[in-house]
A and B are shown apart, each in its own frame.
Chain A
Amino acid sequence: MSKATEIVTPGTAAHSDDHEHHDHIPKGITRWLFTTNHKDIGTLYLWFAFIMFLVGGAMAMVIRAELFQPGLQIVEPNFFNQMTTVHGLIMVFGAVMPAFTGLANWLIPMMIGAPDMALPRMNNWSFWILPGAFLILLSSLFMEGGGPAFGWTFYAPLSTTYSGDSTALFVFSVHIMGISSIMGAINVIVTIFNMRAPGMTWMKMPLFVWTWLITAFLLIAVMPVLAGAVTMVLTDKFFGTSFFDAAGGGDPVMFQHIFWFFGHPEVYIMILPAFGIISQIVPTFSRKQLFGYASMVYATASIALLSFVVWAHHMFTTGMPVYMEMFFMFATMLISVPTGVKVFNWVATMWRGSLSFEMPMMFAIAFIVLFTIGGLSGLMLAITPVDFQYHDTYFVVAHFHYVLVTGAVFSIMAAVYYWLPKWTGKMYDNTLAKWHFWCSLVSVNVLFFPMHFVGLAGMPRRIPDYALQFADFNKWISLGGFAFGLSQLIFLALLIKACRKQGEPVSSQVWEGAEGLEWEIPSPAPYHTFETPPVVK
């Protein structure tokens, strides 16, 4: 296949005898299909994540439309459960995680002075199996009986004995997502270990690189556990095993232990890179070095380690020995210490800086405030006796949407605004950006803040219909939800303009206070960068 070879050649860029090819960018669909260029793959990941964000968001709109008032209006309960399930799966595995992988692809080589990721062909593969995984998952919604309806946590035996045939598709799609994540993580680790520019010592690495390195280890540790869990669900359902069936000597609660042993580190997989992003942005717009760099690194590592010993705090109501409950309560509370250190470090970085409030900084500040609100409600949830009241109510829904939407998603948006001028060479449309920020900020709080109240007042999660005392707040929540969904179309418009290279040209540094290797290469970043490694002093 000489044709294929021809297209791959410029991307591999390793032929030092072939210099005139280096700035040649392949054209057409094959550029994207066969690309091994970290920037192209980063772009693919980011667009894929954004499309999935809109698809998962559309499902959230269905959920909020049904919950706009009590009674069943729009969907049947069975379809409602499919929407909550697939919304969760898409947002976690299709939106947040691929977006972070996209940022890692774009930024890690540029930040450590490497020409590309260490394993470019695997990089192509780990992206291109993702759309297949999500096509499988989404197509299951059109099966007879519908798609998975057991929640993104797929607790057995609801997901085994009592689920539909679409469970098989669910299992295979999760397997593929897991393989993709593991390959992405291996690539990040190998790149960071082997391809740092001379002088880029461990403790000189930008925090985004550090947080991603630790995240990648978490991914490699827990994605196989998830794969094990879905495989046991598959064999329990279709091949007569009884891992989670007491009648055959199994235990349904064991499923939850296995799932959350994956699930809790997964939470940090979705937030550690966010910490990295905020730690890049805050110093830039404070025009002051990050406060407590070393403690940031150690705090990230301690959060990652602690994340392996707190999983059962998701399971306080399953019936555990009281001393186990205490252990998991104390271990969970302990996580707030390193997390607090991070927040304090960001505030101390801003303190006596010279602050300006461009869009990345606005999103970063919103992140610090709103993520902290989510962190504090997390601390409340750690307290076992009160968790009995909060567990599986909208209080929990409020908590994890504060850390995942105003936390992870806001950090991704902050990152896009921060690095977009570097990627395109043009400043984004600031008017649209302001509209996007303020509409998102107001609506996201109208959406998620009242969920604390309805949860405390006793509204369980994952119900399509509710008692009358929850009606007023749910109306507000739904209106906030629709507004937040529409606000993202502003972002879409802004991104389309940016990709068409409209806007003011920017300098290579882009932001006055920006420091780091990625700000030393021209804007837009050339197709190939750092073919000769820079020397870091």
Chain B
Amino acid sequence: MKQPTIRAAKWLSTLPLLLCSPLLHAEAATGEASSLNLRRGATDISGQVYDLHMLMFFICVGIAVVVFGVMFASMYLHRKSRGAKPANFHENVKVEIAWTVVPFLILIFMAVPAANTLIAMEDTSEADMTVLVTGSQWKWHYKYMDKDVEFYSLLATQREQIANKFEKTENYLLEVDRPLVIPTGQKVRFLITSDDVIHSWWVPDFAVKKDANPGFINEAWANVNEPGVYRGQCAELCGKDHGYMPIVVIAKEPAEFEAWIGEQESIARQAKEEEQRLLSMNMSMDELMTEGERVYNATCAACHMPNGEGLPGVFPALKGSKMALEDQPAHIDIVLHGKGGTAMQAFGKMLSLKEIAAVVTYERNAWGNNTGDMVQAKDVNAVATGN
């Protein structure tokens, strides 16, 4: 009756090794995206981190093999069914000192390279350029500190894919509408903060994970060796759509990067001029509703839901709400400036005047909110400038 238990217990002894073996194989295939192990990544630092990880891993496996080896040997050799008689010892000062001191030495062996890598990682001095990264529910905002370029970066995966109506594509949940672009071979410093709750900006290939704390600014940096597309995700629970705020960074050769950033600056300039021109123009109801629906689904639907009904008790409904049916200036104001102490953020810097005009019009006429109100860019500008 004891036999099966013993046999199974012996089999159990091979379990840790068996389970670790895929990880050992994975090590051979570094460089590619592994589904088993950390990646070596794209910076010198991420390579050091990877080496540290593998060192720790092998030391831990070594310790496990020795400790479990002795234990399973004892389970085999000293079992009662084999006629083992218990020995009498219950302490041994020399052995006890040894197994306190030896682990301590192993720890020092681990601590030295770890401390060196840590100091290198936290040295953000002498950066070639700086990007301000701001998290908000549930998107990232990037601002190039010495250039006139800033933009939001939103999840680009279609809702229908998430709802299992369309086939999921290769970069499901890891794709954005506007990726961050940085140059290779330069030390890029990231200043990281948040507009609302705590987020965490994580790009595994750079070994950078830093919390975005509202009201405080954190620093991190990366010097990317190879051009490429690097994907990450928000790593700190930040509310309902925490799983839906990916990070995509494209590293380009410096010359290509300069060309790209120049282009972005001129696009930004043109957009400002366009904005001024629009102030004197009126859009038709159809144009406003079409544009408004697009903006609403991209920006507002995450909380207020595509049907405008919100999430009772969490996010208020717009359908039939007093705000959307009656007070138009207050409606524009809350979209522009947000509402303090709630999850409603300010969209004034995220959306253009035209987009805000369209989305407010849409909210006042969709889902049976048939007010017939049309809001134009100049109406939004009036609220924004206080005229």
A interface residues with partner B (beta carbon < 8 Å): 70-73, 77-78, 81, 143-146, 149-151, 155, 157-158, 161-162, 164-165, 245-247, 251-253, 286-295, 317-319, 322, 325-326, 329-330, 333-334, 336-337, 340-341, 343-344, 347-357, 362, 365-366, 368-369, 372-373, 376-377, 379-380, 383-386, 388-389, 391-393, 434, 438, 441, 445, 449, 452-454, 456-458, 460-470, 472-473
Contacts and interface: CB of A to CB of B under 8 A. Distances in A.
Given A73-B164, A325-B122, A393-B235, A341 B314 contact: no
A341 B56 contact: no
Interface string B51-72: 0110011001001100110110
Contact of B196 (A157, A365, A434): A157
A343 B67 contact: yes
B216 A336 contact: no
Given A252-B214, A336-B103, A365-B9, 9 more contacts: A72-B164, A251-B216, A317-B235, A354-B84, A355-B75, A379-B56, A385-B52, A457-B35, A466-B243
Contacts of A373: 16, 64
B86 A252 contact: no
A389 B63 contact: no
A449 B198 CA distance: 29
Interface stretch (B90-98, B125-133, B293-301, B354-362): B90-98
Main SS class of interface, B = mixed
Contacts of B207: 385, 388-389
Nearest to B4: A434
A167 B341 CA distance: 15
Nearest to A459: B233
Contacts of A467: 171-174
Nearest to A295: B96
28 contacts: A70-B173, A81-B242, A149-B239, A155-B237, A252-B198, A252-B214, A291-B90, A291-B91, A318-B211, A319-B218, A343-B67, A344-B99, A353-B74, A369-B12, A369-B15, A369-B68, A373-B16, A383-B114, A385-B118, A385-B207, A457-B33, A457-B36, A457-B37, A460-B243, A465-B243, A466-B243, A467-B172, A470-B35
Nearest to A319: B218
B168 interface: yes
A456 B38 contact: yes
Question: What secondary structure prevails in chain A residues at the interface with B?
Answer: helix
Interface residues of B, number: 110
A252 B49 contact: no
B323 interface: no
A253 B194 CA distance: 13
B180 to A, nearest CB: 18
A356 B53 CA distance: 38
Interface of B: 2, 5-6, 8-9, 12, 15-16, 19, 22-23, 33-39, 48-49, 52-53, 56-57, 60, 63-64, 67-68, 70-71, 74-75, 78-81, 84-92, 95-96, 99-100, 103-104, 107, 110-111, 114-115, 117-119, 121-122, 137, 161-164, 168, 170-174, 196-198, 200, 202, 204, 207-211, 213-216, 218-219, 232-244, 311-314, 341-343
